[in-house]
Amino acid sequence: MKPETLTFFDKVYEVARCIPFGRVTSYGAIAKYLGAAKSARMVGYAMNGSHGKDVPAHRVVNRKGLLTGKHHFEGTNLMQQLLESEGITVKDNQIQNFEQVFWDPAKVM
């Protein structure tokens, strides 16, 4: 990869890979961790390019714990199944016990 390509996007991928099993985080949490809390949209946008990478995008949801990006996955419920496979309860595209499974990147670091 070219150094010029090392941007906010690459940092997002890096943090996303650090998300532990059975945990989730929000776009804003990642953005804030990167020092660009107001660029949460870029995190989601970056996820658009997460295909072909080891980025567990299904573990990244919006601040409400809603699976806003499920439409970007192959199936209509693939994202939900992936989360449920990790022990996360999902109901109506929304993560239950969100605070319980929420993972803060800054908290680990």
Please state the closest distance from residue 97 (CB atom) to DNA, in A: 15
Establish if 15 lies at the interface with DNA (CB under 7 A).
no
For 91, phi and psi rounded to 5 degrees?
Answer: -135, 120
Establish if 90 lies at the interface with DNA (CB under 7 A).
no
Concatenated DSSP letters of 81-98: HHHHTTT--EETTEETTH
What is d(CA 109, CA 44) in angstroms, rounded to the nearest whole number? 22
* Range list of β-strands (E), 3-57: 25-26
Using the contact rule CB under 7 A, the part of the chain among 23-31, 85-93, 95-103 near DNA is: 23-31
Is the Cβ–Cβ distance between 83 and 95 less than 8 Å? Answer: yes
Is the Cβ–Cβ distance between 72 and 64 less than 8 Å? Answer: no
Judged by CB under 7 A, which of 68, 89, 93, 94 binds DNA?
68
Establish if 102 lies at the interface with DNA (CB under 7 A).
no
Using the contact rule CB under 7 A, the part of the chain among 3-11, 80-88, 89-97, 99-107 near DNA is: 3-11
Provide the binding-site residues for DNA, judged by CB under 7 A: 7-9, 26-28, 31, 36-45, 47-48, 50-51, 57-58, 60, 62-64, 68-69, 71-73, 79
